[in-house]
Amino acid sequence: MRQLSFVMMSEGWIDVQIRTAVDAAELLGMLADPAIQGGWEENGLVHLYWPKTLWSMEAHTRLNRALQGLAPDTFTGSEIRVEELPDQDWNRQWARSVKPIRIGRRIVIRPSWEPVALQIEDIEIVLDPKQAFGTGHHATTRMLLERLEDLIHGGEFVLDVGAGSGILAMVALRLGAASALGVECDPVAVECARGYATENGLGDQLKLRCGTLMEIDRQGALRPDLVLANLDRHTLLLLCDELGRYVNHGARLLLSGILLDQEQEIIEAFSRVGALLSGRREQEGWVALELLMIESCEGVGA
């Protein structure tokens, strides 16, 4: 799943603080409010930011309605705080919300303002959060990045479905993949991801297309070696047939964005299109699944 941060000109900000077990990225997806210009989480407290000029009683009502739909164990209904922030404080909060992170054995992801001392074999992605998801901090992204360290041996073609910031594809390229295609239906995310690829010197290797997977590869002509899909349950189920066709042509499929109680449903849906479980990872209540064609299934691993 994914995290959002974005800086824009404003005459002030509304900082809505919500005590909830739901992460910032999932909450942003539920709200689907284009007025929200940032979101991050710290110690179970989610901060959502509206420009002051776009905050209203209607926005507050929509937020409350969405929160009331959460499970009782994730939101009590009484833990919302609304504060006004001047621009200066907003910028300080934004900069504080994203720190360098080390993932797996050698992956380092950092914002440009936070230098990191790299070890000899480290690979580095510089990513300043903008209005695109995917900074590597969430468990759903981390699990796929960790697995990429083991799966990329050099020369692969990687397909990243729901690419967001492009972080998965960029790390795959840094690890040795020959090329990557990111498919993303959000044009703002595509624009940001193209900028990240250029800033990291990967603009020639990473192609980004705006649209749905069906629009980009209607005939199923692509032949990726590895397919990445860090999406929500509903989208994974909708794309089951389309993703399954790549597995049946020999690709390895990595799925993430799956809650523990959704795991069996996803496994069963993909098994019906010929993709069987080869491995799984679990972190913080989230699961990442690795699927292969029936004939090449290697058995369940950790």
- Lowest mean pLDDT, pick from 122-131, 172-181, 251-260: 122-131
Instruction: Please state, in angstroms and rounded to a whole number, the distance separating the CA atoms of residues 273 and 243.
Output: 9
Q: Is the pLDDT of residue 170 over 70?
A: yes
Q: 186: buried, middle or exposed (CB in 10 Å: 19+, 13-18, 0-12)?
A: middle
- Beta strand ranges found along 139-237 (DSSP E): 157-161, 179-184, 206-210, 226-230
What is the mean predicted confidence (pLDDT) over 192-220?
93
pLDDT-above-90 percentage for the chain: 44
What is the residue-averaged pLDDT of the chain? 83
Q: Is the pLDDT of residue 2 over 60?
A: no
What is the mean predicted confidence (pLDDT) over 113-131?
83
For residue 291, the number of C-alpha atoms closer than 13 Å in the C-beta half-sphere is 31
Q: Is the CB of residue 45 less than 8 Å from the CB of residue 75?
A: no
| Residue 8 pLDDT class (50, 70, 90 cuts) | very low
**pLDDT (tens digit per residue) in 277-288:** 999 999 878 899
Q: Which residue has the higher pLDDT, 256 or 79?
A: 256
pLDDT at 9: 41
34 token code pair: 């284009």
pLDDT at 288: 96
pLDDT at 5: 37
**Right CATH for 101-296 from 3.90.78.10, 3.30.470.20, 3.40.50.300, 3.40.50.150:** 3.40.50.150
pLDDT at 293: 86
What 8-state DSSP symbol labels residue 146?
H
Give the 3-state secondary structure of residue 253.
Answer: strand
Q: Is the pLDDT of residue 258 over 70?
A: yes
Q: Which residue has the higher pLDDT, 134 or 81?
A: 81
Instruction: Please state, in angstroms and rounded to a whole number, the distance separating the CA atoms of residues 194 and 6.
Output: 16
pLDDT at 300: 44
Domain range annotation of the chain: 13-97, 101-296
| Residue 134 pLDDT class (50, 70, 90 cuts) | low
pLDDT at 96: 65
Q: Mutual orientation of helices 240-247 and 263-271 as an angle, nearest 10°?
A: 60
What is the mean predicted confidence (pLDDT) over 40-46?
76
248 token code pair: 């049946």
Using the structure block, give the residue that is written with the tokens 């407290």: 45
Q: Which residue has the higher pLDDT, 11 or 241?
A: 241
Q: Which residue has the higher pLDDT, 67 or 212?
A: 212
pLDDT at 188: 76
Using the structure block, give the residue that is written with the tokens 């624009």: 191
Largest interatomic CA distance in the chain = 60
pLDDT at 52: 84
Q: Which residue has the higher pLDDT, 146 or 187?
A: 146
What is the mean predicted confidence (pLDDT) over 225-249?
93
Give the 3-state secondary structure of residue 143.
Answer: helix
Q: How far is CA 39 from CA 158, 243, 261, in A?
A: 29, 30, 25
Of 69, 79, 76, nearest in space to 16 by CA: 79
| Residue 209 pLDDT class (50, 70, 90 cuts) | very high
What is the mean predicted confidence (pLDDT) over 286-293?
94
**Right CATH for 13-97 from 3.10.50, 3.90.25, 1.10.287, 3.30.70:** 3.30.70
Does the pTM surpass 0.85? The reply is: no
The residues near 87 (Cβ < 8 Å, ≥ 6 apart) are 10, 11, 12, 13
The residues near 107 (Cβ < 8 Å, ≥ 6 apart) are 122, 123, 125, 136, 145, 149, 171, 174
CA 118 to chain CA centroid, nearest Å: 24
Give the 3-state secondary structure of residue 31.
Answer: helix
What is the mean predicted confidence (pLDDT) over 51-77?
75
Of 248, 264, 259, 263, nearest in space to 285 by CA: 259
166 token code pair: 């492009």
What 8-state DSSP symbol labels residue 12?
-
pLDDT at 301: 44
Q: Which residue has the higher pLDDT, 28 or 113?
A: 113
What 8-state DSSP symbol labels residue 260?
G
User: What is the pairing mode between strands 45-51 and 38-42?
Assistant: antiparallel
Q: Is the CB of residue 48 less than 8 Å from the CB of residue 39?
A: yes
